[in-house]
């Protein structure tokens, strides 16, 4: 019997994936219009600055029922005005799909919001594991001066619903106020 060599490699220390069918998604300041409280500060920023980068393995086409995607996200350190760099945040387009995150490097907060806008935060630190139930939006925030790196695994038909987040916000914002990380209402 032929033993097949692995086609994919995952670096446990850094979360970096290598091999075939690995995609990348990047978000720069110019891609974040409408997500930060201080839109004027965002407009004044160098538009090409990287806010976060996602690397993911898609063994099946996006939208395939029953498959799984596996990836990592690096949220770079920085602030727009007094608000820390963060991901856009999303519900899954197919709302009844859950997801796992695990923190690899750095530290931050994972904000979660249910459909009634009830919002809560979990601390992300190396080794923390986070389960996001169905119908719960998720956004990750880097509250330190080093990159925040976390892994993720989600259903290949989950999709991303960003429009609702732009419309109704995320319940809480994470800002640096008088030198301290502070959660404020939207």
Does residue 99 belong to the site contacting Zn ion (CB under 5 A)?
yes
> How far is Cα 135 from Cα 96, in angstroms, rounded to an integer?
6
Q: Please provide the distance, in angstroms rounded to a whole number, between the alpha carbons at the two ends of the chain.
A: 59
- In angstroms, rounded to a whole number, what is the distance separating the alpha carbons of residues 146 and 136? 27
User: Is residue 46 classed exposed, middle or buried when 0-12, 13-18 and 19+ CB atoms within 10 A define those classes?
Assistant: exposed
Q: Does 73 bind ligand S6P (CB under 6 A)?
A: yes
Question: Does residue 99 touch ligand S6P according to CB under 6 A?
Answer: yes
Binding mask of the shown chain, residues 4 to 33, with x at each position contacting ligand S6P by CB under 6 A: ------------------------------
97 binds, among Zn ion, ligand S6P, none (CB under 5 to 8 A by kind): none
Q: Is 158 in the site for ligand S6P (CB under 6 A)?
A: yes
8 Å CB contact between 151 and 72: yes
Structure tokens given for 47: 């538009």
Stretch that binds ligand S6P, among 40-48, 103-111, 150-158, 171-179 (CB under 6 A): 150-158
CA distance 64 to 156: 6
| Residue 143 binding ligand S6P, by CB under 6 A | no
Q: Which does 73 bind (CB under 5 to 8 A by kind): Zn ion, ligand S6P, none?
A: ligand S6P
* Residue 90 within binding range of ligand S6P, rule CB under 6 A: yes
């Amino acid at each position: 019997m032929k033993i097949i060599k692995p086609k994919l490699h995952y670096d446990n220390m850094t979360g970096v994936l290598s091999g075939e069918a690995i995609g990348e998604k990047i978000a720069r300041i110019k891609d974040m219009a409408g997500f930060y409280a201080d839109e004027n500060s965002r407009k004044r920023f160098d538009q090409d600055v990287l806010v976060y980068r996602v690397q993911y393995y898609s063994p099946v086409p996006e939208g395939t029922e029953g498959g799984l995607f596996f990836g990592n996200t690096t949220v770079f350190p920085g602030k727009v005005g007094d608000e820390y760099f963060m991901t856009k945040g999303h519900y899954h387009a197919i709302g009844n799909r859950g997801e796992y995150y695990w923190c690899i490097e750095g530290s931050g907060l994972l904000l979660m919001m249910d459909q009634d806008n009830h919002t809560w935060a979990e601390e992300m630190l190396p080794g923390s594991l986070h389960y996001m139930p169905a119908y719960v939006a998720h956004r990750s925030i880097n509250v330190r001066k080093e990159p925040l790196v976390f892994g993720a695994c989600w259903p290949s038909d989950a999709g991303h619903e960003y429009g609702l987040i732009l419309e109704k916000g995320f319940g809480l914002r994470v800002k640096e106020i008088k030198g301290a990380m502070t959660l404020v209402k939207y």
